[in-house]
């Protein structure tokens, strides 16, 4: 049996199933020693899925899938929020930072980018579990801003520049279920009067998912069945043939740039995946260093110290909250958020929307493998991770934070990560690839239209670079999938 | 081997490569997620390979070396002298050295017009397999030696930009991978123990920082201290995992290039030919085989060692 396709631009290769591999340890109890019981509904109450009665055995599996979908949306949403905050951080001393402040801010930016990458990994893990269960990977999400009640997380989901309030939101998103005394004291300083036990956390959702996975699999086993019925080859992992080419001897799955996505073949793998997600996110009470929560806590301490030294310290550009493109004839105007009124900025914002749209169409095809062959799958992988995320999404997103949201206004724009309703699985191979190619070429045209119009040479150079790279990505994709493209 | 006479120029030296590193975008100006950075008020990372960098790009203890200077000051890797020069010049007939040309030794070797390693986050090629574009080789000295040859990735499409170049054209001039060659790096740079080199560098930076901090305040002092703090921290972070942290183990890596410089007319000054004693084949179709490697990467200084040779066909008439 074979398993896996590689994420993060690193090729697809069929590898041997991990049969016979040594069992991994996992702290979330599983196996015969685990008492099997239905989770307390109060432990598993994400709002979107709460209407499904977990005590009814017929619906438990359905509830599990719904909870995974909710986790996927949250991970996806967190990725966008973290990226937005990271993109908006200041880069130069000319933006009003001292050399020492700038170095701290650069470190924060690096940390936030790492956390965002790991949120992508978590999204990949959730989708691997869904695939393993035979369900559809979940890549859709609602647009920003979101009412806290949408997920009952008690935390706003919005695109906002990095300041202390944003940092506090991030701390709550990654809040551990338990904290040691010292951490609790620090957190109480940031959130006076808040009873952290009342906060519904992402970690809590994952813990509930783990319990439900164990319960459903145990019930299936009693009938001689399993809930892990999905195609193994459709799952994603980090590593791949490009890595093998670069580093002979490296075989298959591996960690890359802080991401370590593994296939989920059975309950043990699923629990291991959740353990990894929890450790990377909230950490453990006795060991939060290196977790997202611990990293945000470190940033908060540094931020505090810098503010004490310089009360005027402001690490990020004055980017407006949740910028949204003015869509005109191109679609339905989003009603919430800050509409970008500057015509030139809006063109770049629309281009970003199109880039994000194209990336998502590729990710749908990547995670929901249907009729691609291996070469097709590799073509998607070689496009959508490195380089679309690195030489298109990030540069355009950063560039928007240097452009005004309104003519003559103080506020700057930023990437809206608009999830329009055309983003869905394109189910038919050739048509899908042609549409993706057409979108990329439309993006190339949209960027060509704004060439030379940026407020300074550095931004013009960045636009030119992205424009060139989009063209190349489109051609590489077309050539690799055999749908044509322009001659080189 | 033919009887066509050839001018063989051997060159070496340290260069700067102010490059962002994966997973940062290729045009990341300051460095975020990779392991190379532009600190404080330093110029942006511009990706340009500088064989003879201006002072504003040079981090202490690197320095601008002249043709007669040693390639390092002090312990190996302690203070690389930046500058790539001709170290030997020979006229060959087949396998035989016809004569040497001391007048060409010490000539400045340069790549003009902003040469860059072009893989663009694995879009054009995989890392370690990228070409340098543009590749305009210039060899000159103050005694009238002036040799210039501009390479075309695809000689049939000399004006085609790199982002439109075919895979075959990119591959023609690409490096043959990035591989560990500690012996080659050790013999050329004296750096055999790259972990110790980094410890020595860290210690040197700490001492240098103390010297700067002890000086009476001056305008750029705060920036210099912040840069040194960041560099010390970066090396210390690397030393925590020396076998897996790129800022440490990449020193032993070597990227080798070997291709014919093709396309465009060569330009060789009359005085150069007088030095050589024979005219140079200057037509666009005659390739100039060049082979060199870049390695011994020093991410703290953004410096790398370059070493190789170019064979320039001569006309015996």
**Per-residue pLDDT reduced to its tens digit, A331-355:** 667 778 999 999 999 999 999 999 9
Q: Give the gap in angstroms from C-alpha B44 to the nearest C-alpha of chain A.
A: 9
The two tokens of residue A457 are 């040479």
Q: What is the pLDDT of residue A136?
A: 95
Helix, coil or strand: residue A386:
coil
State the Cα–Cα distance between residues B89 and A469, nearest whole angstrom.
Answer: 41
Note whether B226 and B205 are within 8 A (CB).
no
State the Cα–Cα distance between residues A38 and A475, nearest whole angstrom.
Answer: 52
State the Cα–Cα distance between residues A239 and A249, nearest whole angstrom.
Answer: 12
Q: What is the pLDDT of residue A1?
A: 35
Helices B194-214 and B221-240 pack at an angle, to 10 degrees, of: 160
Q: Where are the domains of chain A?
A: 2-309, 323-481
Q: Compare B282 and B213 and report the one with higher pLDDT.
A: B213
Asked if B178's CB is within 8 angstroms of A99's CB, the reply is no
Lowest mean pLDDT among A98-107, A282-291, A381-390, B263-272: A282-291
CATH fold match for the domains A2-309 and A323-481: yes
Asked if B122's CB is within 8 angstroms of A242's CB, the reply is yes
Q: What is the pLDDT of residue A251?
A: 53
Q: What is the pLDDT of residue A275?
A: 94
Predicted confidence (pLDDT) per residue in A192-240, tens digit: 999 998 888 888 899 999 999 999 999 999 999 999 999 888 888 887 6
Give the closest of B41, B127, B226 to A246, CB-based: B127
pLDDT confidence band for A252 (50 / 70 / 90) = low
Q: What is the pLDDT of residue A21?
A: 28
Q: What is the pLDDT of residue B2?
A: 58
Note whether A44 and A211 are within 8 A (CB).
yes
Q: Where are the domains of chain B?
A: 5-190+251-313
Note whether A319 and A161 are within 8 A (CB).
yes
State the Cα–Cα distance between residues A350 and B300, nearest whole angstrom.
Answer: 39
Listed in sequence order, the residues at least 6 apart from A9 whose beta carbon sits closer than 8 Å to its beta carbon are A242, A381, A382, A383, A384, A385, A386, A387, B122
How close are the terminal C-alpha atoms of chain A, in Å?
Answer: 39
- Please give the average per-residue pLDDT across A84-106, as a whole number: 97
The two tokens of residue A254 are 């591996």
What is chain A's mean pLDDT, rounded?
A: 85
Binding-site residues on chain A for chain B (CB distance < 8 A): 9, 91-93, 98-100, 102-103, 106, 109-110, 113-114, 117, 242, 245-246, 257, 382, 386-387, 390-391, 394-395, 458, 461-462, 465, 468-469, 471-473, 476, 488
Q: What is the pLDDT of residue A5?
A: 61
A327: Cα separation from own chain's centroid: 25
Residues in A closer than 8 angstroms to B22, CB to CB, are 257, 386, 390
State the Cα–Cα distance between residues B312 and A449, nearest whole angstrom.
Answer: 45
Q: Give the gap in angstroms from C-alpha B69 to the nearest C-alpha of chain A.
A: 34
Candidates A95, A118, A391, A462: best to mutate against B (most CBs of B within 10 A) is A391
State the Cα–Cα distance between residues B293 and A162, nearest whole angstrom.
Answer: 43
The two tokens of residue B162 are 């790199």
Instruction: Answer whether B43 touches A (CB < 8 Å).
Output: no
For the stretch A446-456, what's the b/e string if a residue is b when 16 or more beta carbons lie within 10 angstroms of its beta carbon? Answer: bbeebeeebee
Residues in A closer than 8 angstroms to B32, CB to CB, are 106, 109-110, 113
Listed in sequence order, the residues at least 6 apart from A322 whose beta carbon sits closer than 8 Å to its beta carbon are A144, A145, A158, A159, A160, A336, A337, A338, A416
Q: What is the pLDDT of residue A284?
A: 73
Instruction: Answer whether B246 touches A (CB < 8 Å).
Output: no
- Please give the average per-residue pLDDT across B220-243, as a whole number: 96
Residues in B closer than 8 angstroms to A102, CB to CB, are 40, 226
State the Cα–Cα distance between residues B192 and B155, nearest whole angstrom.
Answer: 40
- Please give the average per-residue pLDDT across B17-28, as a whole number: 96
The CATH number for A323-481, chosen from 3.30.2010, 1.20.1260, 1.20.1630, 3.30.200, is: 1.20.1260
Alpha-helical regions (H) of B182-286: 182-189, 194-214, 221-240, 246-249, 270-276
Q: Give the gap in angstroms from C-alpha A210 to the nearest C-alpha of chain B.
A: 32
User: Which residues between 188 and 207 in chain B have a beta carbon less than 8 angstroms from any beta carbon of chain A?
Assistant: none
Predicted confidence (pLDDT) per residue in B140-187, tens digit: 999 999 999 999 999 999 999 999 999 999 999 999 999 999 999 999
- Please give the average per-residue pLDDT across B9-22, as a whole number: 97
Candidates B21, B26, B27: best to mutate against A (most CBs of A within 10 A) is B27
State the Cα–Cα distance between residues B214 and B212, nearest whole angstrom.
Answer: 5
Q: Give the gap in angstroms from C-alpha B122 to the nearest C-alpha of chain A.
A: 7
Q: List Cα–Cα distances, B92 to A146, B42, B185, B262, B314, in angstroms.
A: 75, 45, 27, 21, 10
Return the CATH class of domain A2-309.
mainly alpha
Q: What does R_g of chain A's alpha carbons equal in angstroms?
A: 23
Helix, coil or strand: residue B259:
strand
- Please give the average per-residue pLDDT across A435-454, as a whole number: 98
Asked if A9's CB is within 8 angstroms of B122's CB, the reply is yes
The two tokens of residue A403 are 């452009």
State the Cα–Cα distance between residues A461 and A103, nearest whole angstrom.
Answer: 25
Helix, coil or strand: residue A58:
helix
State the Cα–Cα distance between residues B138 and B280, nearest whole angstrom.
Answer: 15
Q: List Cα–Cα distances, B206 to A50, A98, A218, A315, A398, in angstroms.
A: 58, 21, 60, 28, 34
Confidence check: pLDDT of A27 > 50: no
Asked if B120's CB is within 8 angstroms of A395's CB, the reply is no
Candidates A6, A295, A387: best to mutate against B (most CBs of B within 10 A) is A387
Give the closest of B25, B166, B178 to A395, CB-based: B25
Candidates A113, A249, A469: best to mutate against B (most CBs of B within 10 A) is A469
Residue of A nearest to B168 (CA): A488
Predicted confidence (pLDDT) per residue in B84-120, tens digit: 999 999 999 888 888 899 999 999 999 999 999 999 9
State the Cα–Cα distance between residues A406 and A339, nearest whole angstrom.
Answer: 9
Asked if A106's CB is within 8 angstroms of B37's CB, the reply is yes
Q: Give the gap in angstroms from C-alpha B289 to the nearest C-alpha of chain A.
A: 26
**A29-33, A201-205, A369-373, B294-298: range with highest mean pLDDT:** B294-298
- If you search the block for the tokens 């990706």, which residue do you land on? B47
Give the closest of B32, B120, B166 to A106, CB-based: B32
Residue of A nearest to B161 (CA): A468
pLDDT confidence band for A241 (50 / 70 / 90) = low
Helix, coil or strand: residue B270:
helix
State the Cα–Cα distance between residues B173 and B176, nearest whole angstrom.
Answer: 9
Report which of A404, A407, A214 is spatially closest to residue A317, judged by C-alpha positions: A404
- Partners of A62 in beta bridges: none
Residues in B closer than 8 angstroms to A100, CB to CB, are 222, 226, 229
Helix, coil or strand: residue A405:
coil
Q: What is the pLDDT of residue B151?
A: 96
State the Cα–Cα distance between residues A177 and A293, nearest whole angstrom.
Answer: 11
Note whether A283 and A293 are within 8 A (CB).
yes
- Please give the average per-residue pLDDT across A463-473, as a whole number: 98
> Among residues of chain B, what percentage have pLDDT more than 70?
99
For A106, list phi and psi in degrees, rounded to 5: -60, -40
- If you search the block for the tokens 């809040």, which residue do you land on? A175
pLDDT confidence band for A42 (50 / 70 / 90) = very low
Predicted confidence (pLDDT) per residue in B27-83, tens digit: 999 999 999 999 999 999 999 999 999 999 999 999 999 999 999 998 888 999 999
Confidence check: pLDDT of A124 > 90: yes
Asked if B30's CB is within 8 angstroms of A390's CB, the reply is no
Residues in B closer than 8 angstroms to A106, CB to CB, are 30-32, 37
Q: What are the E-state strand segments in A309-436?
A: 323-324, 338-339
Asked if B40's CB is within 8 angstroms of A103's CB, the reply is yes
Lowest mean pLDDT among A131-135, A393-397, A420-424, B228-232: A420-424
pLDDT confidence band for A365 (50 / 70 / 90) = very high
Note whether B25 and B120 are within 8 A (CB).
no
Asked if A472's CB is within 8 angstroms of B120's CB, the reply is yes
Confidence check: pLDDT of A329 > 90: no
Q: What is the pLDDT of residue B308?
A: 98
- Please give the average per-residue pLDDT across B254-267, as a whole number: 93
State the Cα–Cα distance between residues A421 and A443, nearest whole angstrom.
Answer: 18
Count of pairs with CB atoms under 8 A, one residue in A, one in B: 99
Q: What is the pLDDT of residue A7?
A: 55
The two tokens of residue A307 are 């503010």
Give the closest of B127, B128, B222 to A99, CB-based: B222
Sign of CA dihedral A335, A339, A345, A349: negative
How close are the terminal C-alpha atoms of chain B, in Å?
Answer: 19
Tell me the ipTM for this assembly. Answer: 0.95
Give the closest of A246, A386, A472 to B128, CB-based: A246
Asked if B40's CB is within 8 angstroms of A93's CB, the reply is yes
For A13, list phi and psi in degrees, rounded to 5: -155, 140
Note whether A323 and A159 are within 8 A (CB).
yes
Report which of A129, A381, A361, A364 is spatially closest to residue A232, judged by C-alpha positions: A129
Q: Give the gap in angstroms from C-alpha B137 to the nearest C-alpha of chain A.
A: 25
The two tokens of residue A367 are 């995670």
Residue of B nearest to A379 (CA): B123
Residues in B closer than 8 angstroms to A476, CB to CB, are 123
Residues in B closer than 8 angstroms to A468, CB to CB, are 161, 163
Candidates A96, A246, A485: best to mutate against B (most CBs of B within 10 A) is A246
Q: What is the pLDDT of residue B203?
A: 98
Report which of A281, A278, A266 is spatially closest to residue A207, judged by C-alpha positions: A278
Confidence check: pLDDT of A47 > 60: no
Report which of A297, A294, A79, A284 is spatially closest to residue A168, judged by C-alpha positions: A297
Q: What is the pLDDT of residue A393?
A: 98
Instruction: Answer whether B26 touches A (CB < 8 Å).
Output: yes
Asked if A114's CB is within 8 angstroms of B120's CB, the reply is no
Predicted confidence (pLDDT) per residue in A56-80, tens digit: 777 899 999 999 999 999 999 999 9
């Amino acid at each position: 049996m074979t398993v896996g396709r590689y994420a993060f631009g690193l090729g697809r290769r069929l590898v041997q199933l991990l049969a016979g591999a040594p069992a991994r340890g996992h702290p979330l109890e599983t196996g015969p020693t685990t008492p099997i019981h239905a989770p307390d509904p109060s432990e598993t109450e994400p709002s979107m899925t709460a209407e499904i009665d977990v005590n009814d055995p017929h619906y438990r599996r359905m509830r599990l899938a719904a909870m995974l979908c909710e986790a996927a949306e949250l991970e996806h949403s967190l990725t966008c929020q973290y990226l937005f905050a990271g993109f908006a951080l200041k880069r130069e001393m000319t933006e009003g930072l001292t050399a020492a402040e700038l170095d701290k801010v650069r470190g924060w930016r690096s940390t936030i980018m790492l956390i965002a990458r790991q949120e992508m990994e978590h999204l990949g893990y959730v989708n691997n579990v869904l695939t393993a269960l035979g369900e559809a990977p979940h890549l859709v999400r609602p647009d920003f801003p979101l009412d806290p009640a949408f997920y009952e997380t008690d935390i706003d989901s919005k695109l906002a520049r990095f300041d202390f309030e944003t940092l506090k939101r991030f701390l709550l998103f990654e809040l551990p279920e338990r904290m040691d005394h010292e951490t609790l004291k620090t957190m109480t300083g940031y959130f006076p009067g808040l009873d952290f036990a009342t906060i519904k956390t992402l970690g809590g959702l994952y813990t509930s998912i783990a319990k439900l996975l164990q319960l459903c699999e145990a019930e299936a086993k009693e009938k001689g069945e399993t809930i892990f019925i999905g195609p193994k080859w459709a799952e994603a992992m980090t590593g791949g043939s490009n890595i093998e080419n670069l580093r002979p001897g490296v075989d298959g799955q591996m960690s890359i740039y802080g991401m370590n996505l593994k296939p989920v073949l059975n309950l043990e793998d699923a629990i291991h995946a959740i353990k990894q997600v929890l450790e990377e996110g909230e950490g453990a009470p006795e060991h939060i260093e290196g977790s997202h929560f611990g990293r945000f806590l470190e940033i908060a301490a540094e931020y505090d110290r810098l503010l004490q030294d310089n009360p005027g310290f402001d690490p990020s550009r004055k980017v407006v909250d949740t910028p949204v493109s003015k869509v005109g004839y191109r679609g339905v105007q989003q009603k919430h958020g800050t509409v970008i009124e500057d015509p030139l900025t809006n063109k770049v914002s629309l281009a970003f929307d199109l880039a994000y749209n194209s990336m998502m169409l590729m990710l749908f095809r990547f995670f929901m493998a249907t009729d691609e062959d291996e070469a097709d799958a590799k073509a998607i992988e070689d496009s959508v991770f490195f380089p679309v995320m690195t030489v298109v999404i990030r540069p355009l997103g950063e560039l928007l934070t240097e452009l005004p949201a309104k003519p003559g206004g103080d506020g700057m724009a930023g990437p809206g990560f608009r999830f329009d309703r055309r983003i869905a699985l394109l189910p038919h191979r050739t048509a899908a690839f042609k549409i993706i190619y057409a979108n990329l070429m439309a993006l190339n045209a949209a960027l060509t239209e704004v060439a030379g119009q940026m407020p300074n040479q550095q931004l013009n150079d960045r636009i030119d670079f992205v424009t060139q790279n989009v063209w190349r990505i489109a051609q590489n994709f077309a050539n690799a999938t055999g749908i044509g493209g322009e001659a080189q | 081997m033919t009887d066509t006479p050839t001018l063989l120029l051997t060159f070496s030296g340290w260069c700067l490569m102010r490059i962002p590193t994966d997973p940062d975008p290729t045009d990341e100006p300051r460095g975020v997620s990779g392991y190379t950075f532009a600190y404080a008020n330093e110029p942006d990372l511009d990706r340009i390979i500088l064989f003879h960098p201006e002072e504003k790009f040079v981090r202490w203890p690197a320095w601008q070396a002249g043709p007669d200077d040693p390639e390092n000051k002090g312990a190996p890797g302690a203070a690389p002298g930046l500058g790539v020069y001709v170290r030997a010049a020979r006229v060959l007939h087949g396998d035989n050295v016809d004569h040497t040309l001391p007048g060409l030794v010490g000539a400045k070797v340069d790549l003009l017009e902003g040469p860059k390693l072009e893989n663009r986050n694995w879009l054009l090629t995989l890392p370690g397999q990228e070409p340098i574009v543009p590749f305009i080789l210039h060899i000159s000295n103050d005694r009238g030696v002036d040799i210039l040859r501009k390479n075309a990735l695809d000689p049939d499409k000399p004006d085609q930009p790199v982002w439109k170049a075919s895979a075959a054209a990119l591959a023609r001039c690409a490096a043959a991978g990035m591989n560990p060659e500690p012996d080659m790096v050790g013999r050329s740079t004296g750096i055999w123990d790259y972990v110790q080199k980094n410890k020595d560098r860290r210690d040197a930076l700490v001492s240098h920082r103390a010297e700067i901090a002890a000086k009476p305040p001056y305008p750029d002092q705060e920036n210099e201290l912040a840069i040194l703090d960041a560099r010390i921290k970066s090396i210390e972070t690397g030393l925590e995992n020396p076998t897996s942290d790129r800022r440490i183990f990449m020193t032993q890596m070597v990227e080798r290039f070997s291709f014919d410089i093709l396309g465009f007319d060569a330009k060789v000054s009359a005085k150069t030919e007088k030095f050589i004693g024979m005219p140079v084949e200057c037509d666009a179709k005659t390739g100039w085989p060049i082979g060199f490697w870049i390695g011994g990467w020093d991410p703290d200084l953004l410096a790398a060692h370059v070493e190789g040779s170019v064979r320039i066909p001569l006309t015996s008439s």
